Chains A and B, each alone.
Chain A
Amino acid sequence: MSDEQTPPYEPPSVEQIDTDGEPISTAAGNSLG
């Protein structure tokens, strides 16, 4: 695999989201893009 095809690596991360009662799709700081 060439360098162009290898995506940059960041170690796995799993974080809990505190939505504070908001729907997950609109809670502050979340982007589905």
Chain B
Amino acid sequence: MSHPASRRSRPAAIRSRLRLVSSVPVSSKRQESFAWGRLLWRLGRRPKRALTECPERPIGAKLEITYACNLRCGFCYTDSPRRTLQRTPELSDEQWRVVLRESLDLGIVEAVVTGGEPFLRRELTLEAIETLASAGVGVSLNTNGWFVDEEVARRLGALRGVTAHVSVDGPRAGLHDASRGVPGSWRRAIEGIDRLLGAGVGVCAVHVVTPGNAHAVPDFLEQMWTLGVPWVRVTPVVVSGAAARGGDWGVSREELRKAAGEFEERRGAAMRISVQPGTGGGLSLQGRAAPGSFLVRPNGDVRPDSLRPFTYGNAIEDGVEACWTALREGWDDERINRWAGAMKGPGDIAKSGLVPYLDDEIPVVGGVAGPASAKAQSSGESGPATLSRTDSDSNAGGRDAEVPAPTPPPSVDPDVELGEAREKVRGLALARRYRHTPLRWSGSSEQRFVRLAGDGRYLRLNESGSVVMDALDGGAVEDAAGALAARYGLDPDRAVADAIGAARELLKRRVVLAAGASAPFPAEPGTTDLPGLEPAG
């Protein structure tokens, strides 16, 4: 069967406007790049997953659905609060549908749907995820969770291959809300995660660690374990966008790794923990790697990724395929290499004269780049009311732009607040119902043998594990805790902790799944983000 991309082609007149602004022949540059890449591989100086050549067809796409965000994070790597204030125009719903169609035609297998906060364009975001997932594309959604209601959770839960990456910056509201600049955002994130888990959606909680919240990472891991989150990513601040305006963002990666290690010693490996490096010393290498994917900005401009602020045409004006061709032919540009080569340490991005998401991007080809290209329309059909046409003030870069002030959380006793947060998380976890996946079981009261119909694997449960399994055949974790306490005379807290742990293990082993899930099997683990791209902001 021919690849969909081979059946269609952009008119030559449109493709020809994307000319490389380079005096070096493309073919020799690519060969040189390949040889250089092989040498770097041998020397171990390329990022582990980096490509040495740009593939003929893109592997993935990162779609920044909107500039706007309802939160006010001082470290936002996309500088979304500033964009929200500026009301920067962006593609219409219909234009995004064209981008989606053309991206699928090019054959992508994974996608990141992100913003800003993508659910500020709720229907468009849901439609985009449904379109991608229905075509078999693995989708990572970046969201702050605020707008994740029952309908959003249900629609996402009906899809396969969707992982929601939800930002949670601490074990209690005071820490998270101080980071995010809007009181109430921790509660909304936690409740959003609970709804997603209840609908069977794969969830990754993303913790951006700052000097102000780093001390609470161990408590955060415990909270996420209790809540039932299968995967946590802990990441230092990416010093681009708003974070590059100033501030002390440095945290010890060793301390984060230590916290993760101690947690795993205590709780085992039932919760996956990724400690990310942030952006710093690796940029000089990552920034020179061949892109396997492309990124579409809210105005349609196409970049290699979140790191490199260089554009290769506009997805609407030029077409996605032509932009990808321009990217393939022009990614190894000496200006980009010079820029990336100067990034030796974490502070170098902020010192650069060209900061991603803070300064206007530089067009490598075409010349249509800029945060508010003329062809971008009002966010239109489903966009937030705050996004109307104001083209005049949005093309001046972000260095000296006005940014909305964060609202500090109310002053509270941290210990009291942490206690209340623990109770809230525990209550949500205990109330979540599960059901069995398709399976059969046999054995004795001492040990139970389970055969999973989905993949034919066999499991062995001890007696108390069987008690929990029986309780979770339509029941809640609270029922499982009650059954353990009644049978073994356990202290209620011990029964709750063991029931939560066992429910996690049974879910991970695919014996149970959330009662609200529409799929017959639990969600597959998803991807983090596309190579070279950054975590949820």
- Residues of A whose CB lies within 8 Å of any CB of B are 1, 6-7, 9-17, 19, 24, 30-33
Contact = CB atoms under 8 A, between A and B. Distances in A.
Contacts of A1: 489
Given A9-B464, A11-B498, A16 B459 contact: yes
Given A6-B488, A12-B464, A32-B444, A17 B458 contact: yes
B449 A14 contact: no
A10 B462 CA distance: 8
A32 B443 contact: yes
B505 A12 contact: yes
B457 interface: yes
B57 interface: no
B126 interface: no
B444 A33 contact: yes
Contacts of A19: 458
Contacts of A17: 449, 458-460
B464 A16 contact: no
A15 B459 contact: yes
A13 B268 CA distance: 12
A22 B511 CA distance: 22
A14 B224 CA distance: 21
A24 B451 CA distance: 9
9 contacts: A11-B498, A12-B465, A13-B464, A14-B459, A14-B460, A15-B460, A17-B449, A24-B458, A31-B447
A10 to B, nearest CB: 6
Q: Which 4 A-B pairs have the closest CB atoms?
A: A12-B502, A12-B465, A9-B488, A17-B458
B417 interface: no
A15 B458 CA distance: 9
Contacts of B443: 32
Interface of B: 442-444, 447, 449, 451, 457-465, 467-468, 484, 487-490, 498-499, 501-502, 505-506, 509, 511
Contacts of A6: 487-489
A16 B411 CA distance: 48
B421 to A, nearest CB: 26
A32 B509 CA distance: 21
Contacts of B498: 11-12
Contacts of A10: 462-464
Nearest to A5: B489
A15 to B, nearest CB: 5
B503 to A, nearest CB: 9
Contacts of B447: 31
Given A30-B449, A32-B443, A16 B489 contact: no
A17 to B, nearest CB: 4
B511 A7 contact: no
A22 to B, nearest CB: 10
A13 B465 contact: yes
A11 B502 CA distance: 9
Given A30-B449, A32-B442, A14 B489 contact: no
Given A14-B509, A16-B459, A17-B459, 10 more contacts: A6-B488, A9-B464, A9-B488, A10-B463, A11-B464, A12-B464, A12-B465, A12-B467, A14-B505, A30-B460
Contacts of B467: 12
Q: Which of B451, B464, B498 lies at the interface centre, i.e. has the most chain A CB atoms within 10 A of its CB?
A: B464
A33 to B, nearest CB: 7
B523 to A, nearest CB: 18
B295 to A, nearest CB: 39
A14 to B, nearest CB: 5
Nearest to A3: B489
B449 A24 contact: yes
A4 to B, nearest CB: 12
Contacts of B465: 12-14
A24 B448 CA distance: 12
A14 B502 contact: yes
A17 B498 CA distance: 22
Contacts of A15: 459-460
Given A7-B488, A9-B488, A12-B468, A32 B460 contact: no
Contacts of B509: 14, 16
A27 to B, nearest CB: 8
A7 B487 contact: yes
Contacts of B457: 16
Given A7-B487, A32-B443, A33-B444, A12 B451 contact: no
Contacts of B506: 14
A32 to B, nearest CB: 6
B225 to A, nearest CB: 15
B101 to A, nearest CB: 42
A16 B510 CA distance: 11
Contacts of B505: 12, 14
Contacts of B442: 32
Contacts of A11: 464, 498, 501-502
A13 B469 CA distance: 11
Q: Which of A1, A9, A31 lies at the interface centre, i.e. has the most chain B CB atoms within 10 A of its CB?
A: A9
A14 B461 contact: yes
Given A14-B509, A24-B451, A32-B443, A9 B490 contact: yes
Q: Which of A11, A14, A16, A33 lies at the interface centre, i.e. has the most chain B CB atoms within 10 A of its CB?
A: A14
